[in-house]
Structure formats: structure tokens, C-alpha cells
Amino acid sequence: MIASDIRRRSAAFLVVLCAWAVLLIIIALRINGLALDDMYITYRYAHNLLAGNGLTFNPGERVFGVSDPGVAMLLAAGAAVTRLTIPAAGTFLTAAALLMIAGAVLWEAGKRGRFAEAAAGGTLVVTSSYLWLGQGSGPLVALAFLALAALLAERHPAVAGVIAGFAVWCRPDALIGCGLLGWLIVRQKKKPPIAFAASATLVCAIGLAAAWAYFGRPLPSTLTAKQQFASRHLESFTGLHGFWGRALDNFKSTEGAWALVLIPLGVLGSLHLYRSSGLAGRLLLAYSGMLALGYTLLRVPFSIWYVGPTAAWIFMSSGFALAGAARLAAHRAGRAAAAAVIALALIAVGFPIARARAGWLRQDFTADWKRAAYRAAGVWLARNTPPDADVAFDEIGIVGYYSERPMLDLIGLVSPSSIPFSAAGDQAGAFLAKPTRYLLLHTHDRRGGTGPTVSRPWFSNSYRERARLDLPRYGVAMVIFERRPHRRVPPPRPPLDRRAAAGALRAEP
């Protein structure tokens, strides 16, 4: 009887896993490589690693400007083995991560008689347009490795520690997940997880030492750059209003406004998820909750991929809430009541969300003006400039990936020299610190990204318009400026607060 139960559970697990894999492949093929600009920073690090230029954004510059170095390594290895492009490898890595997260919880919950709950929650996870919006990012990959470590922790603690340690390579804040997993193991086994802790600590230490030796610092500079950039408009980017307000706006735009019902359902289903899962499900809940709290209290500027683990928890817990309600109805009032609950859940929640997600997949993904414009500029630079021609812009992911030219990042993610100027709102100062041969401007809005630099009086004397790439479909153009031969620019200067020193900025030669 026990053997037959195990066979049935294993067969059901494989059926659901295969169904999820089919859905993930369909989604991945539809949105293959359509990552946001910041993801292309990681993609360029991966591209340079694959090309033999080391883990660098600008070859020869060892700047720790990648938040997820382990992901860059995985992408380079995956592209080398599969011959996929780096962006395509990023898409399929996200698919694998979602499958691993949902599969780990499904396996554990199935052993505890809560297969339906995990199947419902996992389906919400793997098909989520909100999670897919951050494709290629580190948080979901780190969460997947933590879930796999939790799945292996009981029987293979040393292996689990290695995997959890590598999750930290994929995302430094996964260190919180390592600690939480160790705590959960102690609660379950009532003794210290020595093998897990030793192997996780060793892998983390190797990563920190390697980063320090290679980059000269143990942690990425990206969070500092983002915090400095957001510091002038802190309430717009951080806290309950800035961070979570933007998260909800993105949620509604991808999942549909009706999907907001999943948030209270997810909160209600959290206790059921904790009680009905093993280490993987409990870690998902604890780790995602800690990240949500930490990002809020530490005033971390919003980025869509930061919310990935929290969203995965909400989706998974929602499935536990809905299927758990049907199970409770069956226990209290019989199968007819359970069928009624399931029908109500499908009509009121399932169908609207499925329609919104299908609509998101059906949309024309070529409508993103940034992706089209920045790629056009990158391709033009690759074809019309020498390999050593350096370029300045404020969003350097897509342009940098397709141009393969040295980039000056005016925000400071991969150019630390720009960080003090970004904090002061002094973009022109960041440019003057390292004036480049080319500078890009877009016409999507008045600021144009680099408008604060192009509008300086000295700029027209020192630079000329070399090319204008019109994209009529988007009503936007990319303007490429080139430095005039033998023309000087003002010398480098300390950062000037844009508002407090408006007169001084206007007086620049």
C-alpha cells in the first residue's frame, strides 16, 4: 500500500512537472530575450566572460557592477554549452528557476498530503507575467537554489550547503536565506546543522575572497549607486509608498487589477503553506518575508526583480489558500461543497487572472521604445565606431551589450566615479570627470536621459551630432554626439548640487 502510494504520488508529481515545463517553454519562446535594461548589464558581464575578457563590463576594468555574479557565470556556461545567445540563456534560466521553486514545494507538500495546494500555487508561480517581467535577474535564481538546498538538506546536508552558498554568489542577500535555512533545520532536527553550515560557509567565504581578490571589494557597488541616485527623490523610490506603490503598479499592469485579490489570499494562505510544507516551502515564506521587510526598512530603491521572491510567496500561498478552502469544504460538507468552492475560485479568481496573463503574452513586445531605441544605438555604434571608442549614457545595459564599446555609466552602476555626482544630481559633472568620445541622447522626453549634459553651454562647442536614428513607430530618436577634433571640455570638478548651485552650473564655459 505504501509503495503504491509512493508510485501514485511520484506519477502525479511528474505529470504536473511536465505540464509546468510545457507552459514555461511556451512562455519562454514567446518572450525570449526580452529582458529589461539592467539585466543586460549582467548579460554583458556574461558575454565578456564567455569571450575570454573576464568577469567585466568594460574589458580591462575590474568593477564589481554586477549584482548577481553567479548568474553571469551560469549564463556564460549555459551559452557555451547550448549555443544560445546570452539573452536567450537568461530567459531559459528564469524558466528553470521557476520550475525548481514550484517543484520543490510540490514535492514536499505532496508527501504531506497537500498536493493540490502546491499544484495550484505552483501554477500561479510558473505562469506569472509579473515574475517573468524580471527574467534574467538574480533573485529568482538565488531563490531556486535555496529551494533546492532545502529539498536536499535532510539527506545531503553538505551538498545542500554548497548549493545554498552558491545562491549567495547569485545574489548577496541570499545570505539571509542561508541563515534562515540553517535555523529551520535546527527547528526540525533539534541539533546544529554542522555539515550544512560548514559547506555553506566555505562556499560563501570562497566567493567573498574571490570577489575581493578580483574586484578589490567583497560586495557589489550597485546598491550604493542606486541608493545615491534615488536619494534626491527618496519617497518616490523607497518605503511603503515608493517601493511598494511601484510594485503594485507593475503588478496591475502585468497581472490585471483583479489579481490584487491574490495579495490578501496569499497572506491568509501563509500559515497553511508553513504547516503543509517541508523546508523548501517554509524557507520560501520566511526568506521572502524577510526580504520584503528589509527592503522597506533599509529604504532600498525599487526594482521589479527585488519583488520576485515576495511575489512567488504570495502566488504560492494563494494556491494553498484556495485549494485549502476546497479541502476544508470537502471535509466539512462533502464533495459537492468542495466542487462549489473550486468552481467559485475558478470563476472569481482563476479565469480573470488567466485571461490577464494570456493577454500579456499576446501583446506586441516590440512596442517597448527603450528596447528598440537602445538596441538600434548599440548596433550603430558597433558598425560605425572603432572598438576603443568610449560612450556615455545613463542606461548602459542594452547599448553596452550590443555595441561592445567601453561605456561610461552616468548613474554609476558600472562606473563608480559617477556615484558622487549622481547623488548630487550633477550628471554633467560625472561626464566631465571622464569625457567620452561619444554621448547618446534620446528624444522620448525633454530630459532625454542625458539632457542635463547636452544642455550645458560648452557641449555644442565640444561635440557635434554624428547620427540621428529615427524610430517613427515609437515617435522617438536616438541622437549620437561625437567629440569634435581638438576641442576641449571644461576640466573635471567636484560634484555640485544641481539645485543649490544652479548659477555655477549655468556659468560653466
Higher pLDDT, 327 or 283: 283
Mean pLDDT of 487-491: 91
**pLDDT score, position 505:** 52
- Residues of the chain above pLDDT 70, percent: 96
How high is the pLDDT of residue 51?
A: 95
Q: What pLDDT sits at residue 506?
A: 54
Local structure of residue 261 (DSSP, 8 states): G
**How confident is the model over 279-311, as pLDDT tens digits?**
999 999 999 999 999 998 888 888 888 999 999
Res. 507: pLDDT tops 60: no
Q: Is the pLDDT of residue 225 over 80?
A: no
Across 446-460, average pLDDT: 90
118 or 7, which is more confident? Answer: 118
Contacts of 480 (CB under 8 A, 6+ apart): 377, 380, 381, 438, 439, 440, 465, 466, 467, 468, 469
Question: In the predicted model, what is the mean pLDDT of residues 396-420?
Answer: 94
Label residue 112 exposed, middle or buried (CB < 10 Å: 0-12, 13-18, 19+): middle
pLDDT of the residue at 2: 66
- Does 175 have pLDDT greater than 50? yes
pLDDT for the residue 502? 53
Residue type, 34: L
pLDDT in tens, 248-263: 999 998 898 888 899 9
Confidence of residue 337 (pLDDT cuts 50, 70, 90): confident
Where residue 66 falls among pLDDT bands split at 50, 70, 90? very high
* Residue 236: pLDDT over 80: no
Give the span between the Cα atoms of 431 and 66, in whole angstroms: 21
Strand partners, 392: 408, 439
Question: Beta strand 391-393 with 438-442: parallel, antiparallel or unpaired?
Answer: parallel
Distances (CA, A) of 285 to 180, 264, 427, 483, 501: 10, 15, 41, 53, 48
pLDDT band at 493 (very low <50, low <70, confident <90, very high): very high
Q: Are 282 and 80 a contacting pair, CB within 8 Å?
A: no
Where residue 363 falls among pLDDT bands split at 50, 70, 90? confident
Buried b (16+ CB within 10 A) or exposed e, 82-92: eebebbbbbbb
What confidence tier does 362 reach under pLDDT thresholds 50, 70, 90? Answer: confident
Q: How confident is the model at residue 348 (pLDDT cuts 50, 70, 90)?
A: confident
Name the pairing type of β-strands 438-442 and 463-471: unpaired
pLDDT at 498 over 70: no
The yes-or-no verdict on residue 501 having pLDDT over 70 is: no
pLDDT tens digits, 24-48: 999 999 999 899 999 999 999 999 9
Tell me, rounded to whole angstroms, the distance of Cα 100 from its chain centroid. 17
Check whether 367 has a pLDDT greater than 90.
no
pLDDT over 60 (residue 476): yes
User: What confidence score (pLDDT) does residue 500 get?
Assistant: 57
Mean pLDDT confidence for 456-474: 95
> For position 343, what pLDDT does the model report?
87
- Band the pLDDT of 10: cuts 50, 70, 90: confident
Using H for helix, E for strand and C for coil, what is the string for 32-101?
CCCCCCCHHHHHHHHHHHHCCCCCCCCCCCCCCCCCCHHHHHHHHHHHHHHCCCHHHHHHHHHHHHHHHH
- Express each pLDDT in 90-121 by its tens digit: 999 999 999 999 999 999 999 998 999 999 99
What pLDDT does 1 receive?
46
Q: What is the mean pLDDT of the chain?
A: 91
pLDDT exceeds cutoff 80 at 226:
no
